[in-house]
Structure 1
């Protein structure tokens, strides 16, 4: 079972990588962030779990109108995989899950 990690440097790097993608309006905090009162902290909307073979990254994003969700989520996934792989610990994400929760 994967354990959630609070590697703030990784979470901030993933957050930055996501927000740099065209079509992303913002990350939306999940219910766990709201219950833990982390909705306004950097990385809300990002959950990182460390598994036996690598990381599992879950993202909740709100997109800008006029962008195809499929294209944006593919760019997000590629950017996050590159960010995690670029950490130097030879770990790549097992899974990157991008959930589009809205369009503005």
Structure 2
């Protein structure tokens, strides 16, 4: 699979724990500047900026400039795809658990 395509894929974007934490931080606020996001990690601004770029390519994060500062905010819409996928398998396993329970009770 093409690397550029993978970076735009929501599943690739959320696969990394740092990016999941960034999503969580942004979900708890309206917007956050890079320096504030970086303060939650033991890595530099450049590394956090690279993670934010991957999230932006997956359309999970939007940014805007205010003077010299860039502020980031969450765009949760692409996460609906993940929710739908997980919901399908949640229903799948719930049905299997009911079938197993019925078999064991017979």
Please report the TM-score for the alignment, with normalisation by the length of structure 1: 0.25
Question: Which structure has more RCO (C-alpha within 8 Å, separation ≥ 6)?
Answer: 1
Please report the TM-score for the alignment, with normalisation by the length of structure 2: 0.25
Higher helix share: 2
Higher strand share: 1
